[in-house]
């Protein structure tokens, strides 16, 4: 089954001359649109991640103090378990055992 083709749209963007000159020097013409698309995608992804982080921060700020304390206590217990597991893995690696997958 053939992969679904992506749809592209031609967009005209005005950029500072210096930026265009540098891009022409560094990026081969055949790859310019892919590089620009990749950079713009990464930027938009980072903006989305920042928005999600802000939403989580707002959610946790609105929670009751008792609920937050209970969750912190549970996370502290899990951290102890995680520390024990890492210590066991460290011991096994020092003995030359193969790491678990």
How many independent structural domains does the chain possess?
2
- The parent domain of residue 37 ranges over 14-62
Cα–Cα distance, 19 to 23 (Å, whole number): 6
- Per-residue model confidence as pLDDT tens digits over 2-37: 666 778 888 888 999 999 999 999 999 999 989 999
Per-residue DSSP letters for 21-78?
HHHHHHS-GGGHHHHHHHHHHHHHHHHHHHHHHHHHHHHHHHS-HHHHHHHHHHHHHH
Q: Within this chain, do residues 78 and 58 fall inside the same structural domain, yes or no?
A: no
pLDDT category of residue 80 using cuts at 50, 70 and 90: confident
Q: Within this chain, do residues 75 and 48 fall inside the same structural domain, yes or no?
A: no
Q: Within this chain, do residues 36 and 49 fall inside the same structural domain, yes or no?
A: yes
The helix or strand, by DSSP H or E, that contains position 79, with its residue range, turns out to be helix 65-94
- Per-residue model confidence as pLDDT tens digits over 85-96: 888 888 888 887
- Per-residue model confidence as pLDDT tens digits over 30-71: 999 899 999 999 999 999 999 999 998 898 889 898 998 898
pLDDT category of residue 1 using cuts at 50, 70 and 90: low
Q: Within this chain, do residues 68 and 101 fall inside the same structural domain, yes or no?
A: yes
Domain for residue 52, yes or no?
Answer: yes
Q: Within this chain, do residues 74 and 100 fall inside the same structural domain, yes or no?
A: yes
């Amino acid at each position: 089954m053939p992969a679904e083709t992506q749809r592209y749209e031609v967009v005209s963007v005005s950029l500072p001359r210096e930026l265009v000159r540098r891009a022409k020097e560094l990026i081969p013409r055949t790859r310019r649109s892919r590089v620009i698309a990749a950079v713009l995608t990464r930027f938009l992804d980072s903006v989305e991640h920042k928005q999600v982080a802000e939403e989580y921060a707002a959610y946790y700020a609105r929670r009751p103090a008792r609920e937050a304390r209970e969750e912190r206590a549970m996370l502290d217990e899990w951290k102890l378990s995680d520390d024990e597991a890492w210590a066991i893995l460290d011991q096994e690696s020092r003995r030359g055992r193969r790491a678990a997958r």
